[in-house]
A = this chain, B = another copy of it.
Amino acid sequence: MSEIRRDIIIGRSIIIASNRAKRPKNFKNKDEIKGSNDCPFCNGFREDILLEVIDQNPSSIEGKNSWRVRVVDNKFPTLKSTGKLTEYNHGFFQKMNGIGQAEVLIESMKHNSSLGSNSLDHTIGIITALKLRYEQLAKDNRLKYIQIFKNFGAKAGASLEHPHWQIIGIPIVPLMVKEELEGVNKYYKQHHNCVYCDMIRYELADNQRVIKENEFFIAINPYASRYPFETWIIPRTHQHNFSDISKKEINALAIILRDMIKSFEVGFKDLSYNILLRTAPLALKNQQGYHWHLQILPRLNIQAGFELATAIFVNPVPPELATEELKGIGII
């Protein structure tokens, strides 16, 4: 059973996942990733399906059970779904039990598929499935935040090679989300406008960091990029929650997301990356402050002592140069 411990000084939360405890000698020194041998996602956890997107025209894979996207329970959940959320004093410290929901979206039947080479319909299926699961988990009133993300490649912390996303419902609002909300609200009070909306306007006019735009979305390398080639995909309409996305917008997001990832796949060799959904906490559903977006974080360098100590990232690639290079790849 995992537990959520609170750092008494900064107030940050740490999940102690003792069900995965390892002794010193059991830590391997190579980046571990499970390949195609006995890949659990290739057979798609048939017995345990929460949601399925069926492919009407399976061209390359035979059999009547073919599917495009499946969402299943995470077999090694960071947080467990059963039980009542309880906070404890633990001597000098505080903790709560590790209640939550952990699901996996299997992106394709094919082990070697990629987000950049899927059909548009397939990508629409992925985003729609993520939205449906988000809405489902949002009904669990023990949860305060739902984090959707994708780890791709060993350097991005993926433990399985087969392309997948994760959906984790957590019983607290993460400190990082709180900080972002504070910043957004502070800006709103000063300028009577959403900082993301204003930033979109500025970036479109300045045109130095805009990689791609369509009717509903804009892809930029943010001004204060933490990672080389860090990319944000932001809806042009002010929406605080990912689940506000319309059908038309899902189509537009599918195009821009697929083309961005394809650019990374073509421009870089064996790139590991994370995709993070940034969205408002569940309890803020009806507030105006936040503006959801996706962050693509290429994992090209390692965070060393300076970054860990200060949280000041050192980025060797100015975002203006990143935009030029990403456009130069010729996909978008």
Residues in chain A within 8 A of chain B (CB atoms) = 4-18, 20-25, 27, 29, 31, 78, 90-93, 145, 147, 149-151, 154-158, 166, 168, 170, 172, 174-177, 179-180, 183-184, 187, 195-196, 198-199, 202-203, 206, 222-226, 228-229, 267-270, 274-278, 295, 297, 300-319, 321, 325, 329
Q: Are A6 and B224 in contact (CB under 8 A)?
A: yes
Q: Are A15 and B314 in contact (CB under 8 A)?
A: yes
Which partner residue on chain B sits nearest A6 by CB separation?
B224
Question: In the assembly, what is the distance between CA of A295 and CA of B11, in Å?
Answer: 18
Contact residues of A: prevailing secondary structure: mixed
Top 4 A-B pairs, shortest CB-CB distance: A157-B304, A149-B305, A174-B310, A20-B316
Question: In the assembly, what is the distance between CA of A318 and CA of B199, in Å?
Answer: 42
Question: In the assembly, what is the distance between CA of A5 and CA of B313, in Å?
Answer: 10
Which partner residue on chain B sits nearest A31 by CB separation?
B302
Which partner residue on chain B sits nearest A23 by CB separation?
B325
Cβ-defined partner of A311 (8 Å) among B22, B175, B301, B317: B175
Q: Are B309 and A147 in contact (CB under 8 A)?
A: yes
Q: Are A198 and B315 in contact (CB under 8 A)?
A: no
Known: A8-B223, A276-B305. A92 touches B166 (CB 8 A): no
Q: Are A29 and B269 in contact (CB under 8 A)?
A: yes
Counting chain B CB atoms within 10 Å of each CB, which of A184, A300, A302 scores highest?
A: A302
Q: Are A276 and B308 in contact (CB under 8 A)?
A: yes
Cβ-defined partner of A315 (8 Å) among B14, B91, B149: B14
Question: In the assembly, what is the distance between CA of A305 and CA of B296, in Å?
Answer: 10
Known: A21-B317, A21-B318, A325-B24. A174 touches B302 (CB 8 A): no
Inside 8 A of A6's CB, which chain B residues have their CB? Answer: 224
- Smallest CB separation, A222 vs chain B (Å): 8
Inside 8 A of A92's CB, which chain B residues have their CB? Answer: 198-199, 202-203, 206, 223
Q: Are B151 and A21 in contact (CB under 8 A)?
A: no
Given contact pairs A11-B183, A157-B305, a sample of 11 additional A-B residue pairs in the complex whose CB atoms are under 8 Å apart: A9-B183, A10-B179, A16-B225, A16-B319, A92-B206, A93-B223, A149-B304, A154-B302, A170-B312, A174-B311, A274-B305
Q: Are B21 and A176 in contact (CB under 8 A)?
A: no
Question: In the assembly, what is the distance between CA of A297 and CA of B304, in Å?
Answer: 10
Q: Are A166 and B306 in contact (CB under 8 A)?
A: yes
Question: In the assembly, what is the distance between CA of A311 and CA of B297, in Å?
Answer: 15
21 sampled A-B residue pairs with Cβ under 8 A = A9-B184, A10-B179, A12-B311, A12-B313, A15-B313, A16-B319, A18-B317, A18-B318, A21-B318, A21-B321, A31-B302, A93-B223, A149-B306, A149-B308, A156-B304, A157-B303, A157-B304, A168-B306, A170-B312, A175-B312, A276-B308
Question: In the assembly, what is the distance between CA of A9 and CA of B176, in Å?
Answer: 12
Q: Are A274 and B150 in contact (CB under 8 A)?
A: no
- Smallest CB separation, A76 vs chain B (Å): 10
Inside 8 A of A269's CB, which chain B residues have their CB? Answer: 25, 29
Counting chain B CB atoms within 10 Å of each CB, which of A151, A270, A300, A311 scores highest?
A: A311
Q: Are A22 and B228 in contact (CB under 8 A)?
A: yes
